[in-house]
Amino acid sequence: MAGAEGTAGRQSELEPVVSLVDVLEEDEELENEACAVLGGSDSEKCSYSQGSVKRQALYACSTCTPEGEEPAGICLACSYECHGSHKLFELYTKRNFRCDCGNSKFKNLECKLFPDKAKLNSSNKYNDNFFGLYCICKRPYPDPEDEIPDEMIQCVVCEDWFHGRHLGAIPPESGDFQEMVCQACMKRCSFLWAYAAQLAVTKVTAEDDGLLLNVDGAGDQEVLRPENGAHRDSALKEDVKEERGKAAVKEGKAEQTNEPCTSSRSESDLQTAFKNQHLNTESQSGCKLQELKAKQFVKKDTATYWPLNWRSKLCTCSDCMKMYGDLDVLFLTDEYDTVLAYENKGKVDQAADRRDPLMDTLNSMNRVQQVELICEYNDLKSELKDYLKRFADEGTVVKREDIQQFFEEFQSKKRRRVDGMQYYCS
């Protein structure tokens, strides 16, 4: 018996103890996360009528559009009403998307909330996420075959999700960066490397003399000279030749007139003059990107990590805005495009809609009833606090039976108080 008791004691020591406070805090955290992701989306009305929604919670239905079929996305309301019993992939949020539910991609389903849809939404963008596959490894999440603990991070440009170990650079602590741009998107939007040297959380920089700073390894790096450097070098050589030609002409004239030559600016003077002229032109143009590209910077085959509000530092001159449009990344200049802005909006909307049942009950009562209810509530709170404190002091776990016993005793005390009251008639 002693051995059995000892084993039971050791097992109880190994079992994790979860307090009521832990449960409540975890429940509140989960509720806040749900509000953040879903709060900005309508759970009752199909979003199709809104056109391409700037950002919304999206799902893909594996039952209706399995792998091999055309990819399709559905809004939050349709996931509840039209696909409630289906197998769904949660896509978190996507930008500029219009609900596909019931269109031509769904062969045997009509949308219950908004059946009058166009056959296709040509502006929608799709990737492997719509079939439940993520990252460059094209694996599901969670992956039952992946035993390596790793977090998934969403690229702010392509909106695919990536394992931290597949991004070419170790992610900083989650609280240290706000957004990530994956390797492929950094390659496609190479102008971001000039900003990365100044803004990225893990700065990728190079000194003017070509020495690399804060960059690990040298095999996959490329130190870039200022943009159009080859063109400027060529132009500089042409200017030097032209100046030398003028000098030669003047020297010839000097020989003919037996006058000393007074022309020649040195080649270094010409280079300095050309650089100053270029910098003056650049500062006059007011383009932040050109100013950054005038410096050396490092280009790597890695993802980059960016802090809060980094997008506000991007140049918005006409040339850069045209470039963003050509690269289809104009959304980078929109402060309300970020997932953080969407989540904050969801939290605010939910807080406005969330009603306190106690306050609703109080508002429906007269003055006497309100006072009585408040007194009862304070009594309950005080007694429950004292009751739970005993468990905390003894270090014991509160069980279901303990809570049931408390409320039974509380109700019994309340009945005794009511029965013992004396009423007088005047």
Please give the share of the chain, as a percent, with pLDDT higher than 90. 47
Provide the terminal-to-terminal Cα distance of the chain, rounded to the nearest Å.
Answer: 70
Q: How far apart are CA 78 and CA 46, in angstroms?
A: 6
pLDDT at 209: 37
pLDDT band at 203 (very low <50, low <70, confident <90, very high): low
Reply yes or no on whether the pLDDT at 275 is more than 60.
Answer: no
How high is the pLDDT of residue 27?
66
Q: What is the 3-state secondary structure (H, E, C) of 33-70?
A: HHHHHHCCCCCCCCHHHHCCEEEEEEEEECCCCCECEC
Neighbours of 157 (CB within 10 A): 21
pLDDT at 147 over 70: yes
pLDDT recorded at residue 87: 95
Is the model's pLDDT at 232 over the cut of 60? no
Task: Identify the pLDDT of residue 98.
Answer: 98
What average pLDDT score do residues 249-271 get?
A: 41
Per-residue pLDDT at 243 = 43
12 or 87, which is more confident: 87
The three-point CA angle 399-405-410 to 5° equals 135
340 vs 218, higher pLDDT: 340
Q: Which residues contact 338 (CB under 8 A, 6 or more apart)?
A: 156, 178, 179, 311
Q: Which residue has the higher pLDDT, 423 or 415?
A: 415
Q: What is the pLDDT of residue 369?
A: 82
Report the candidate in 419, 389, 393 with the shortest Cα–Cα distance to residue 406.
389
d(CA 354, CA 146): 40
Across 89-108, average pLDDT: 95
Q: What are the b/e assignments for 22-35, b being 16+ CB within 10 Å?
A: eeeeeeeeeeeeeb
What integer pLDDT is reported at residue 392 of this predicted model?
82
pLDDT at 235: 40
Question: For residue 307, what pLDDT is reported?
Answer: 95
**Per-residue pLDDT tens over the stretch 292-344:** 999 888 999 999 999 999 999 999 999 999 999 999 999 999 989 999 998 88
Please tell me the predicted confidence (pLDDT) of residue 140: 95
Residue 425 is predicted with a pLDDT of 53
> Does residue 216 have a pLDDT over 60?
no
